[in-house]
Structure 1
Amino acid sequence: MTKLRLAIVGAGPAGIYAADILLKAERNFDVSIDLFDHLPAPYGLVRYGVAPDHPRIKGIINALREVLDRGDIRIFGNVRFGEDITLDDLKKHYNAVIFATGAVRDADLAVPGVELEGSYGAAEFVSWFDGHPDYPREWPLDAESVAVIGNGNVALDVARMLAKHVEDLMPTEIPENVRAGLAASPVTDVHVFGRRGPTSVKFTPLELRELGELRDVDMIVHDEDFDYDDAARAAVSGNKQVFVIDKTLQQWRQREVGQASRRLHLHFFAKPLELVDDGTGRVGAIRFERTAPDGEGGVVGTGEVRELPIQALYRAVGYFGSPLPGVPFDKKRGVIPNHEGQVLVKDAESGQSRQMYGVYATGWIKRGPVGLIGHTKSDAMETIKHLINDLGNWWSPESPSEESIVALLDERGIAYTDLDGWHNLDEHEKALGEAEGRVRIKVVPRDEMVQISRG
């Protein structure tokens, strides 16, 4: 019987779901799957890209853990694609590869002053408070008034983590350096800006409601943002999610404010124009234009410009994919060009795209950073369908044995981590948490993660 030796680069939800779907799929060949990740621990953005106070994320991790703990998928963590292993290496040992590397960079925000000191990418801040091993241990939390640009869930995560009192984060798995940094923060006001109205936001109702439950934090909304046009009213009456969001915001309009030590302000119909230099090269204010509904669900500028003093700004306007050595990349969209997961490469002479046999993509690096876990599963199913049907075009590896890739990594001195190693790290982090009455405390330094994993 034919056997598929498959490499998957990326051990987050997209990569793990792809492996699980293939193993369960109807097929007339055997399968052997190796997951590679540049981080020593699995789960990708579920571990390193979501605020630690989301309890439902634990359910996703539990589901991913069940897949890995079956033992029919091997993991090689702490292995960097393009450095430790290359596309040519994979061709020698596998029949095909799926790239599931996600999107972890911040998308650009094209406004003057974005380069000023005190202007940060939200993705970098999220990586810091999630204990990502490749980011600095310290974060400059020295601003009393902070702006967050964006109206998606990441913007709310950032705003919540800035406004929330650190004592209320102690049940979570935040690392000690993050606890210390947030505890010293002098923040009093967090301002979230979106250029559209309340009925056009991209965050989910649950994310929004969580904001209103913060202890000792006033929710500030402005009456001028709720003069809805027909399109906005139709959105509220015709869409359950918009209805719930509107209901939550309307309740906040009725709240008494003024007693809390911190405030979280939501500014709608506010288009950022520029960041103002305070005279020392730092962010001193944000200048924005008031927008208005255009009658069709969009907005137009009004010409009214306002300015708000701030000392820091976080850009939460989306994530962007990163190129991989030897793999085609769409610089405009931040994705690997593909047709339903089949990677496409342009012919140098004709300029026409053709399939790059043996190479596939799934998740955010396939479709861009949109959608939730459900989209990731359907994405993987589509990619796996083509992988199975492309049997005749798989690579023919020189050395397909399962032992050969282990020998290669050992020969190159790569201190890779495996599933047993993840269990070691997992138990160690839980023990650290148990000593302080918490579920877990993350280990942050990469070398320490690897040392614990490898025993």
Structure 2
Amino acid sequence: MPRPLRVAIVGSGPAGIYAADALLKSDVAAEPGVSIDIFERMPAPFGLIRYGVAPDHPRIKGIITALHQVLDKPQIRLFGNVNYPTDISLDDLRTFYDGVIFATGATADRDLSVPGAELDGSYGAADFVAWYDGHPDFPRTWPLEAEKVAVLGVGNVALDIARVLAKTADELLPTEIPPNVYEGLKANKALEVHVFGRRGPAQAKFSPMELRELDHSPNIEVIVDPEDIDYDDGSIAVRRGNKQADMVAKTLENWAIRDVGDRPHKLFLHFFESPAEILGQDGRVVGLRTERTALDGTGNVKGTGEFKDWDVQAVYRAVGYLSDQLPKLPWDIDSGTVPDVGGRVVQESGEHLESTYVTGWIRRGPVGLIGHTKGDANETVSNLLDDYANGRLRTPGSPAPEAVDAFLAERNVRFTTWDGWYRLDAAEKAQGEPHGRERVKYVEREDMLRESGA
């Protein structure tokens, strides 16, 4: 009787789990079957959903329910707290599996090439998100001394940062934020948050619902300058062809024409302001200089030569995420992705790197919403299965599942399992229950390993 197809997936975020789901729904799952091991460097699964989504977005975190159902399948094993490549390398994975899919996402900040980006008080969005989401590998404190703050970028991450900075700590207390984050936000001095976009309302990358949520807080007054509501032919075409862009523009228009209220925290959304320099004094941020831009007819903008200095004491750069380069895999330094064709990893020679695949942000860059990774996963898995059917996958030397457990034990790797996640999940919910909260996250890696029974 032929053995099941053995596949390793590196990364347990949505991209990796969607790939596992696609494998389970394939014809191969019925005969000869599939056996999937998912490797995750964190002690807990779910990647971006756990450590990249703002805590006051339970609707998005609800995606975990669907992902949970996939990981519950008996054909899948989870190996948490296992780091590629230090704990297990590509050569090691090839010893145990017919195919390897990398779904490691993007967790670092893309560089912003403006003078002053290195100043004290200039922060990357990814670092701040990791702090308020309780990522164990980031500091437990965050400096929140600035009364006026700039956020650069007009995507959903910029909105998350602006909202967390503008809300009160007590508004966020019912969420799963850890105690250290609550205490940090209680000391937050921000009264004004300014969000800057270099293009216009039609080009903003906000989701309509996330944008409208800004206005739901009783403490946040959202302000849009009527002069920033402007469209050219390219912008009008975008609105006509993209319902979400049109909804975003309409929301911004409504905010621009209303009277400013008296909510204590002001959140300004600025358009047509391109960051030119982060201003510093004695090594610290003391302001932001922007250049006014104007539409050029195509929806793009050009500089006007008119500059303005903004009185801010901190700048958060939310201009995009960047994937970490993966050892032993080819790398496109410009896009920050692994070169591929249909999910097959492609070497400089143009040949497919045998039995090796990518999906999600490590494949196409950090663009699109979480659901968009499903299409990536389906294409990648389809090509892996095609290679399997046509004998193009290399044969592993030790395909037995227990060989992986023995390898990690020999390396003294303290790994967590799917059963361990159930224990950690229960422990976090127990921490929240006395306070009427759904859960309170464990932050320290050692605590997570202990509660998971690693």
For the criterion TM > 0.5, the same-fold answer is yes
Equivalent residue in structure 1 for 2:329, among 314, 327, 331:
327
How does 1:175-194 map onto structure 2 within 5 Å?
Answer: 175-194=178-197
Residue 56 of structure 1: which of 21, 37, 59 is its match?
59
Q: Does structure 2 retain, via aligned residues, the 8 Å contact 1:218–1:262?
A: yes
Aligned match of 1:292:
294
1:79 maps to which residue?
A: 82
Q: Please tell me whether the aligned partners of residues 53 and 61 of structure 2 are also in contact (alpha carbons under 8 angstroms).
A: no
Aligned residues: 449
Of 170, 173, 184, which residue of structure 1 is paired with 2:173?
Answer: 170
* TM-superposed deviation, 1:253: 2.1
1:360 maps to a residue whose letter is: Y
Residue 195 of structure 1 is aligned with which of 192, 198, 207?
198
1:399-434 alpha-carbon deviations (Å, 9 max, x no partner) = 111101001111111110001100000000000011
Aligned pairs for 1:385-404 (under 5 A) are 385-391=382-388, 392-404=391-403
2:40 maps to: 37
Question: Does the residue aligned with 1:103 lie in a helix, a strand or coil?
Answer: coil
Kept after mapping to 1: 8 A contact 2:345/2:352: yes
Q: For 1:360 and 1:306, how far apart are their aligned partners in 2?
A: 47
Match of residue 349 from structure 1: none
Q: Which moved more, 1:243-252 or 1:259-268?
A: 243-252
| Superposed displacement of residue 258, structure 1 | 4.7
Q: Deviations over 1:255-307 (max 9, x none)?
A: 33252211000110000000111x21101110000001111111111111000
Letter in 1 for 2:4: K
Kept after mapping to 1: 8 A contact 2:226/2:257: no
Q: Secondary structure at the match of 1:112?
A: coil
Q: CA RMSD in A?
A: 1.2
Residue 18 of structure 1: aligned partner: 19
1:132-281 map, 5 Å:
132-277=135-280, 279-281=281-283
SS of the residue 2:184 aligns to: helix
Query: 1:89 deviation in Å?
Result: 0.9
1:94-109 aligned at under 5 Å gives the runs: 94-109=97-112
1:13 is displaced (CA, Å) by 0.6
Q: Do the aligned partners of 1:285 and 1:311 also contact (CA within 8 Å) in 2?
A: yes
Q: Which moved more, 1:93-102 or 1:243-252?
A: 243-252
One-letter amino acid matched to 1:448: D
Matched, 1:424 2:423: yes
Q: Match for residue 134 of structure 2?
A: 131
Q: 2:446 aligned with 1:453, yes or no?
A: no
Where 2:55 maps in the other structure, the secondary structure is: coil
2-structure distance, mates of 1:74, 1:81: 17
Amino acid at match of 1:335: T
Contact 2:122 2:285 in 1 (8 A): yes
Cα distance in 2, alignment partners of residues 237 and 405 from structure 1: 53
Does the CA-based 8 Å contact 2:239-2:245 persist in structure 1?
Answer: yes
1:165 and 1:215 in contact (8 A); partners too: no
> Does the aligned pair in 1 maintain the 2:197–2:274 contact within 8 Å?
yes
Cα 1:95–1:188 change in 2 (3 A) is same
Shift of 1:230: 3.7
CA deviation after TM superposition for structure 1 residue 365, in Å:
0.3
Change (3 A) 1:452 1:193: same
Mark the CA change 1:126 to 1:257 in structure 2 (over 3 Å): closer, same or farther. same
1:312 aligned partner: 314
CA distance in 1, matches of 2:359, 2:242: 29
State the identity as a percent.
Answer: 55
Q: How far did 1:23 drift? A: 1.1
- Tell me the CA shift for residue 238 of structure 1: 4.5
Task: State the SS of the aligned residue for 2:12.
Answer: coil
- Report SS of the residue matched to 1:393: coil
Aligned pairs for 1:397-412 (under 5 A) are 397-412=396-411
Which TM-score applies when normalising by structure 2?
0.97
Deviation at residue 2 of structure 1 after TM alignment? 4.7
1:329 Cα shift? Answer: 1.5
Structure 1 SS opposite 2:435? coil
CA apart distance, 1:237: 4.4
Aligned AA (1:422): W
In the alignment, structure 1 residue 374 sits paired with structure 2 residue 375:
no
| Structure 1: segments with no counterpart, 5+ residues | 347-351
